Chain A
Amino acid sequence: MRFLPGLKWKAEEGSKMPRDELGILSEIKKGYILRQLKEGKRGDGRTPYQFRNANIKVDYVKRAPGSAYVELGKTRIVAGVKIEAGSPFPDTPNQGVLTTNVELLPMAFPTFEAGPPNESAIEVARVVDRGIRESKMIDLEALVIEPAQKVWIVFIDIDVLDFDGNLIDACTLGAVAALRSAVVNGSAVGKEDFRLPVRNTPVSVTMVKIGDNIVVDPDLEEEQISQARITVSTTEDGRIRAMQKGDNGWFTLDEIKKAISTSIDVGKQLREKYLK
């Protein structure tokens, strides 16, 4: 993901010297990472299909009916779920509403800026949303209070606190964990509280292409030197629910087919390890 305009070599008028130290560092690292990958190793010692260790704490925010704190390597996010009664969309009067928003906080990275979500934040949020929505993880039909009048609106809001690559998967893990723990405050409309009706467990797996290599769960350095990115979201039945190719490079169809089978395998491991 190209969040890094500040990391490009920026030469001032009349100067050929690159200004940004991080830019130089990444050139040196690039050589190192590429050499390592030739032997099937990664900069941080992982194998190409190895996810970083994740640490997930659910019910992290007591004020939210569902929440999760996620560390994926050094990427840190908090996902909070708020559930409020409101009006359904006119074209889906018999369904609750699901919305996903991601905030790339300025604290998370030197070039993240305050303000409304930029295209990168919107892309992350929409890919996370697609994985959850298309898997039909939440039974939206069970979230109707009064048909066409009143339904439960599920807001998933994600704060990115610290950015070290692969936001899509960190945010999907956080959102799914938070939704699984969420309780709907039925007493607000004179009914009983109930657990958010969850039917399955979508998991996204993001891969990037570096040279001819494809690696899973890229860290920041790997994202910086990669040519293209692909995310595949699957459910436990091994079906594909959402995909997104990103960045300026390309994949062959065979690479994409391989990415899909990798996503199914790695997704299974993640579900087993973190979302049981």
Chain B
Amino acid sequence: MGTQSDIKLIDENGLRLDGRSAGDLRPIRIEAGVLERADGSAMIEWGGNKIIVAVYGPREAYPKHNQDINRAIVKARYNMAAFSVDERKRPGPDRRSIEISKVLSEALSAAIMVEQFPRAQIDVFIEVLQADAGTRIAGLTASSVAIADAGIPMRDFVTGCTAGKVDGKVVLDLSKEEDNFGQADLPVAALPKSGKIVLMQMDGDLSVEEFETATSMIMNAIPRINEIQRNALSSRVKVEGGGGE
């Protein structure tokens, strides 16, 4: 995890730098159907993160030797804009974003009814416009809204959240400072109805007890985040329906 810091990230009242307590989420806003051309799209603002997701497909998988005759392949491409972080990020995929793209593709494959679309490919383009810690799970959370917006059948949403350890204390939804100077980071994504875990990564230093606290915080937050996903979709449907009210 990050380097040592002299900044106190949690004050004597247990409050964090941005005033949150340990189990609080940052504000999350999701809007579905934000792009014209894509088959489905969504924008998420999660704390200071601004991420836009576009979905194309299902369409014929290319190159052809990648086709799976039994199911669709899901290809997520996680990309950080050059201007999304303090120091300019060199454009194009680096090793971190290649790994993230892989685990996001796998997480989405668990939710999408891929068996309905043999030989097809579903592309999910995740563009991080402004990064503020937790970009992979914010991008993933928006992706499942964009996939639903594209009308692609899914077993459930995919809903993500992180927890971590800051000043020796387990907290939910790390901010940028907490991510940089914390002692552990645990991004998780699950299917909210069943609680099945489709993404989990961890780095840092956690005891078994701390892991259990962190995951129970996350599993607690997931229904709250899923509610925001659902609202984003239902308000989209109302607009599209037109003249209902």
Binding site for B on A (CB under 8 A): 5, 8-11, 91-92, 117, 119-120, 122-123, 125-126, 130, 133-134, 230, 238-253, 256-257, 260-261, 264
Contacts and interface: CB of A to CB of B under 8 A. Distances in A.
A134 B66 contact: no
B208 A243 contact: no
A122 B219 CA distance: 29
A134 B208 contact: no
Contacts of A245: 103, 197-201
B90 interface: no
3 A-B pairs with least C-beta separation: A243-B202, A250-B196, A248-B109
A253 B103 contact: no
Contact of B196 (A126, A134, A242, A251): A251
Given A122-B95, A240-B206, A260-B211, A252 B102 contact: no
B208 A260 contact: yes
B197 A261 contact: no
A4 B211 CA distance: 33
Interface residues of B, number: 37
Contacts, number: 98
B13 interface: no
Given A134-B203, A241-B204, 19 more contacts: A8-B69, A119-B102, A125-B95, A126-B95, A134-B204, A230-B200, A238-B207, A239-B205, A240-B202, A244-B103, A245-B198, A248-B106, A252-B196, A252-B197, A256-B215, A257-B211, A257-B212, A260-B208, A261-B208
Contact of B99 (A11, A126, A230, A240): A126
A119 B99 contact: yes
Given A8-B69, A119-B101, A243 B201 contact: yes
Contacts of B205: 134, 239-241
A126 B186 CA distance: 16
Contacts of B219: 253
Given A242-B203, A256-B197, A249 B66 contact: no
A242 B191 contact: no
Given A240-B206, A240-B208, A249 B3 contact: no
B83 to A, nearest CB: 19
A260 B214 CA distance: 14
Contacts of B109: 248
19 contacts: A8-B68, A8-B69, A119-B101, A122-B102, A123-B102, A126-B95, A134-B1, A239-B206, A240-B206, A241-B203, A241-B204, A243-B203, A244-B103, A244-B201, A245-B198, A246-B103, A247-B106, A250-B198, A264-B208
Interface in B169-227: 186, 191, 195-208, 211-212, 215, 219
A67 B99 CA distance: 26
Contact of B200 (A119, A248, A249, A256): A256
B69 A251 contact: no
B137 interface: no
Contacts of B233: none
A25 B244 CA distance: 57
A258 B199 CA distance: 17
